[in-house]
Structure 1
Amino acid sequence: MSLPVNTSPQNKHSAIDIVLDTAYQGINEGTWKELFTTARQSGLEQFIQDMFAGKHINNSEDRPALHSALRNLTKTPVLINGVDVMPAVAGVWHRIEALCDKWVGVTDVIHIGIGGSDFGPRLAIEALAHVSGIKSRGMRMHFLANIDTAELALILARAQAHSTKVIIASKSFTTLETTMNAKAIVAWLKESGCTKSQISDSLYAVSANIPAAKEFGVAEDNIFPFWDWVGGRYSVWSAVGLPIALQYGFETFKQFLAGAEAMDLHFKNAPLEDNLPVIMALSLLYQQDKHDIKAYAAIPYADALDWFPKWLQQLDMESNGKSVDRNGKPVKHSSPVVFGSAGSNAQHSYFQLLHQGTEIIPIDFIAVREPMSDRPEAVAHHRILLSNCLAQAQALANGKDDSNPNNVYPGKRPSNLLLLPKLNAFYLGALLALYENRTASLGALWNINSFDQPGVEYGKVLAKPIEKALASHQNDIASSTDIDAVTATRINLLNS
């Protein structure tokens, strides 16, 4: 019933004091050797070097994937087509630091963005708010992503227009949800009595499309660039992470980058057998081959990381949710469905399925050694939290026999334990970079391009004629090449 647990030291790995324990994966030493051989045969080592060297590994868009340059605090030259990008990156760092010193009397910051322009900074702001003793500017940081005006209305009910700054984060500056929400915020500022110059002074943009940001009305001095070699879901390290610096100070933002840089250096330099992102990728690959798994869960036993699984969903499923490889051929495996939430809340939600459901769903248990508060009861509460984390992993792996079939736990449910020494800006950055590099490793193992996302575009194209039909208020919309019969009927229902 239980997994063949291998408790040898080979199942415990560490980098920058982060420990990865794979003992409950059910992978023996011989199988690990085979997995590392598979990794080498897939060209993973060369892929890692090519990624950091600025090679055009995003083959469909013919560009590099160099988000690692955004956290290259040592400023080691990074060349793209023979040009070092680090002076431009460092220039943005200096501008972020200057802005942190400049803002005085700001009560509210509204950060407008969606997807990669939202998940990363939102996760960081939420997570770091739990760090004991962290210095905060005390501004209310609002994140506006959804086109649903419920989110907009809630923010505008709280914000003070005359002391509000607005950050519009969009790589293309054409994303519909972002531009419409930005227009709504500008209209609110006008309605609140702000002058044209006050509005201009309030607007900031983070974009690779500087002309579009200027056309929208953002002053050039208020535009922070990033580049087409940065994917949106990998962009929190760029000026997209501006809210982190503004709320907690530039030094905290640098620590966030430093943790990611430290993990990058480990990923780049460690042999595969000691490489945390690679080992995590291979363990998931093994479970796909062994059990044909369709999903995995990421369960952080830290309430501060409750947003982490949402960030991870985009990272994994937008990067690797593909059915064809780099050569256009069908793939055997791609990204499983990713889900999760903070433990121990998760135990009272879907752990019934994890323990006794018909499918095997691997889990990444993420724990932090130190409590996340200085409350008198923090040590006792944290001990119970960690006890639950370890107990769930043990129960899932070993299971339990019982004469009553309803009380049988099948066991053989694999998991990793990822243990952080503490949760601060440095280790938050390291954690995110660990998973980014694991995602890239999986893409290399599957021969999938992890840096494009063509599947998100088709629905956006179809939405345009549908929106036009809804705006017409006609109740006899007929199907066409753009709108099929089912959707036409639904439009008629909404227009009736």
Structure 2
Amino acid sequence: MSLKPDSDNLKSTESPPGVMPNGAHFAVDVVLDTAYQGIDGKSWAALFDIARKTKLPEFIADLFAGKHINQSEDRPALHSALRNLSKSPVILDGQDVMPAVIDVWHRIDALCNKWIGVTDVIHIGIGGSDFGPRLAIEALAHVPDIESRGMRMHFLANIDTAELARILDRALPHSTRVIVVSKSFTTLETTMNAKAVVAWLKASGCTNSQINKTLFAVTANVAAAKEFGVEEDHIFPFWDWVGGRYSVWSAVGLPIALQYGFKTFEEFLAGAHAMDLHFKNAPLEGNLPVIMALALLYQQEKHGIKAYAAIPYADALDWFPKWLQQLDMESNGKSIGKDGKPVKHSSPVVFGSAGSNAQHSYFQLFHQGPEIIPIDFIAVRKPMSDLPEAVAHHRILLSNCLAQAQALAHGKTDSNPNNVYPGKRPSSLLLLPELNAFYLGALLALYENRAATLGALWNINSFDQPGVEYGKVLAKPIEKALASGSDHIDADDSIDAITAARINFLNA
């Protein structure tokens, strides 16, 4: 295990071979082409001026320096330390966090070498404890010739027992391992699903000793994990300076290493680290996360856009828009700024799915709807399989990606109004050299850093999520009312008349 920066892994920030149109920028061999954003040189200059007036360079420096930029929770946002393969010190309140991070890397590597004969892994977590590792497992499964250890990786997030039943029907209890992932170890869906899986293990004849060897946890609440029955040396730490949606780089990403080997996990971290170095050090005018953020801000200012789409022309990235939805809308879906005042802009609605499937679904709206919806087209230069048809199929995939962007930009006139395409629909193209662990890490870090940049531009704290808590509070008395079985529930301070009527209908 090297755990040190590799000059081949960090990649170049120089332009790769070939000529791209004006509007193309390069970092870590990733191409960002904004030529179809419709932003002229004067407008770009004004956007970079806005970035400087909002003290974006200072914000970026504070982010990596461990300053408490998450003001509402009085903590930093140091997820970049989790992929800091240079091992350079990252100081938080006078202490270097890197020794603890490196210790987790060693423990993950060691665990990969211990799991022999395991057929199934059940990863239990929800939200940020689920989206990142699930996306990575799905995406990397398509990499030709990737090392795979043959285990079946199951992700259990939903409290709906349909997901639980499907997993338990497939898993072999005596050769299964269970990873419970919860920062607080109090997340209701996660703890209930974990108890259900433990009950299944017991019902399948596993002894308490066997179950103890089966259970693992990733959490910041070690005491709660031990109380649940997880042995201390099976608990991987998770720190309060890591937000859930930024946590795949921690032991939350354990399934990546277990499924594809620690070297693959290290390459995943290396791609993200390389993008972090670019974000931290590149001037604003050549900084990919900054350019992407400013392009979105421009479309908000000019067109008042309320949504944007991310369309990966790679089936392996079909989970990417779901991951991105949480990243953007949980980070920046807020109406109050860091100064306590209403903000002008916030996160647009994010949606998307794999192209070219998406073309046959909602692209009609993109082309001829009254709304202007910017699009991030994401493409990969190399095919994602080694089938004989791969090159021809991939050529068609890329031609569709390029054609859609061109059609949206230029539109089409026609004497029949039904055949008119207005055009001037903005989009960017992100082009990865290939899809592997390194470039997947770079892609995710690119969007994470863009989300932070947007928060800075909008004066929003991108690292708290108070809005998700209120519904959880209200669910408790409602669940109690449903459990009572009574169809005579009255409205009170926590249950309004409409909800009471719905409860009574369900209990009748």
* Equivalent-residue separation in structure 1 for 2:272 and 2:226 (angstroms): 32
- Is structure 2 residue 170 aligned with structure 1 residue 146? no
Shift of 1:436: 0.1
Q: Distance in 1 between matches of 2:505 and 2:370?
A: 39
Query: C-alpha separation between the residues in 1 aligned to 2:150 and 2:289?
Result: 36
Q: Please point out which of 361, 374, 394 is paired with 1:382.
A: 394
Q: What CA deviation, in whole Å up to 9, does each residue of 1:111-164 have, x standing for no partner?
A: 000000000000000000000000100100000000000000000000000000
| Contact persistence 2:307–2:374 (CA under 8 A) | yes
Which of 133, 139, 148 is 2:145 aligned to? 133
User: Post-superposition shift, 1:82?
Assistant: 0.6
Shift of 1:226: 1.2
2:349 to 330, 333, 337: 337
Q: TM-score, with normalisation over the residues of structure 2?
A: 0.96
User: Is this contact kept in 1: 2:143–2:435, CA < 8 A?
Assistant: yes
Of 419, 423, 427, which residue of structure 1 is paired with 2:439? 427
Cα distance, 1:35 vs structure 2: 0.2
Which whole-Å CA distance do the structure 2 matches of 1:181 and 1:477 have between them? 28
Q: How many angstroms does 1:475 deviate by?
A: 0.4
The SS at the match of 1:288 is helix
What is the distance in 2 between the residues matched to 1:8 and 1:157? 51
Partners of 2:247 and 2:222 lie apart in 1 by 16
- Give, in angstroms, the shift of residue 289 of structure 1: 0.2
8 Å CA contact retained: 2:129, 2:244 = yes
Query: Are residue 234 (structure 1) and residue 251 (structure 2) matched?
Result: no
Map 1:440-455 to 2 at 5 A.
440-455=452-467
3-state SS, counterpart of residue 441 of structure 1: helix
The CA distance in 2 between the partners of 1:328 and 1:483, in whole Å, is 29
Q: Provide the residue aligned with 2:59 in structure 1.
A: 47
Letter in 1 for 2:50: T
1:24-423 maps to which residues of 2 (within 5 A)?
24-423=36-435
Q: Give the superposition deviation at 1:455.
A: 0.1
1:327 positional shift = 1.0
Cα distance between partner residues in 2 of 1:40 and 1:236:
31
What is the alpha-carbon distance in structure 2 between the residues aligned to residue 83 and residue 458 of structure 1? 35
In the alignment, the residues of structure 2 paired with residue 429 and residue 238 of structure 1 have an alpha-carbon distance, to the nearest angstrom, of: 13
Question: Match of 2:148, as an amino acid?
Answer: S
Structure 1, residues 61-95: CA drift from partner, whole Å, max 9, x if none?
00000000000011000000010000000000000
Distance between the aligned counterparts of 2:28 and 2:245, measured in 1? Answer: 24
Distance 1:78 1:17 in 2: 26
Structure 2 residue runs of 5 or longer lacking an equivalent are 1-18
Question: C-alpha offsets along residues 414-457 of structure 1, whole Å, 9 cap, x if unaligned?
Answer: 00000000000000000000000000000000000000000000
Number of equivalent positions? 490
> Deviations along 1:201-251, whole A, 9 cap, x unmatched?
000000011111111110000000010000000000000000000000000
User: In the alignment, what sits opposite 1:3?
Assistant: none
State whether residues 21 and 35 of structure 2, in contact with CA within 8 Å, keep that contact through their aligned partners in structure 1: no
The alpha carbon displacement at 1:10 in A equals 4.8
Following the alignment from structure 1 to structure 2, what is the Cα–Cα distance between the partners of residues 437 and 355?
A: 29
SS at match of 2:154: strand
Find the aligned partners of 1:230 and 1:209 in 2 and give their Cα distance: 13
Residue of structure 1 equivalent to 2:6: none
2: CA distance between counterparts of 1:10 and 1:257? 31
Rounded Cα–Cα distance in structure 1 between residues aligned with 2:283 and 2:56: 11
Offset, 1:384? 0.2
Q: Please, which moves more after superposition, 193-202 or 10-19?
A: 10-19
Q: Distance in 2 between matches of 1:174 and 1:39?
A: 39
> Percent of pairs identical after alignment?
81
2:66 counterpart letter in structure 1: G
AA matched with 1:142: H
Where do 4+ consecutive residues of structure 1 move more than 2 Å? 7-10
- How far, CA to CA, are the matches of 1:466 and 1:90 in structure 2? 44
Note the alpha carbon deviations across 1:280-326, whole angstroms, 9 max, x for none.
00000000000000000000000000000000000000000000000
Separation in 1, partners of 2:25, 2:121? 41
**2:500 aligned residue (483, 488, 492):** 488
Q: TM-score, normalised by structure 1?
A: 0.98
User: Hey, what's the Cα distance between the residues in 2 that align with 1:43 and 1:209?
Assistant: 36
For residues 58 and 211 of structure 1, the distance between their equivalents in structure 2, rounded to whole angstroms, comes to 26
Q: Distance in 2 between matches of 1:353 and 1:114?
A: 32
Distance (Å, rounded) in 2 between the aligned partners of 1:293 and 1:9: 26
User: C-alpha displacement at 1:481, in angstroms?
Assistant: 0.2
Does the residue aligned with 1:418 lie in a helix, a strand or coil? strand
Deviations 1:241-273 (A, max 9, x none): 000000000000000000000000000000000
